[in-house]
Structure 1
Amino acid sequence: MGTRRFACALVVVRMYIRRGQNWSICIDSDPYAVMALFLRDLAGLTHTEVGPNSTLAHTVKIRGARWPTHGQIKQEWDSWWQSIMHGPTHNQLESTHDLPLQLERRGYPQLARVASAHYGQAIVFADEHHREFSRAAVEYVPQRIQELEKILLDQGVEHAGQSNTETNIRVLQVPLSEPRAWLGGGGTIVASHNLLRDGAAFHSYMEPIASVMFP
Structure 2
Amino acid sequence: MHVDKAPSWSVSVRSSLSMCFALYLRDCAGLGVIGSPAVSPLKPPVHCADPRQAVHSVGGLTALRVEWEAWWYELVAANGADGTLPTPPDFPELDAMPALQRYTHARYGTALTWVQEAEEARRKRDLERVSKGIKLDYGKLVGERELELGRAARHFSLVVIELPLSEPRAWFVEPDMLIASEDLQLDEAAFRSYVQPVVEFIA
Do the two structures share a fold, i.e. TM-score over 0.5?
yes
List runs of 5+ in structure 2 lacking aligned partners. Answer: none
3-state SS in 2 of match to 1:143: coil
Structure 1 letter corresponding to 2:40: S
Aligned sequence identity (%) = 26
Kindly state the Cα deviation for residue 211 of structure 1 after the two structures are TM-superposed. 3.1
CA distance in 2, matches of 1:151, 1:193: 19
TM-score (norm 1): 0.76
Is the 1:52–1:190 Cα contact (8 Å) retained in structure 2? no
**C-alpha offsets along residues 57-79 of structure 1, whole Å, 9 cap, x if unaligned?**
12223222655422222222222
**1:62 partnered with 2:48:** yes
**Aligned residue pairs: how many?**
189
Gaps of 5+ in 1: 1-14, 161-165
Q: What's the RMSD between the two structures over aligned residues?
A: 2.5
Q: Is the 8 A contact 1:29 1:173 kept in 2?
A: yes
Structure possessing the higher radius of gyration over alpha carbons: 2
Aligned match of 1:153 = 143
Alignment TM-score, normalising by the size of structure 2:
0.80
What amino acid maps onto 2:12 in structure 1? Answer: C
Q: 1:1-215 alignment to 2 at 5 Å?
A: 15-47=1-33, 49-50=34-35, 51-64=37-50, 68=56, 69-87=60-78, 90=81, 93-96=82-85, 98=87, 101-105=91-95, 107-140=96-129, 143-144=135-136, 147-156=137-146, 158-160=152-154, 167-185=156-174, 187-214=176-203
Separation in structure 2 between the aligned mates of residue 155 and residue 110 of structure 1, nearest angstrom? 47
Matched letter for residue 152 of structure 1: V
**Aligned CA distance change for structure 1 residues 132 and 19 (closer, same or farther; 3 Å):** same
Q: Which runs of 4+ in 1 moved over 4 A?
A: 65-68
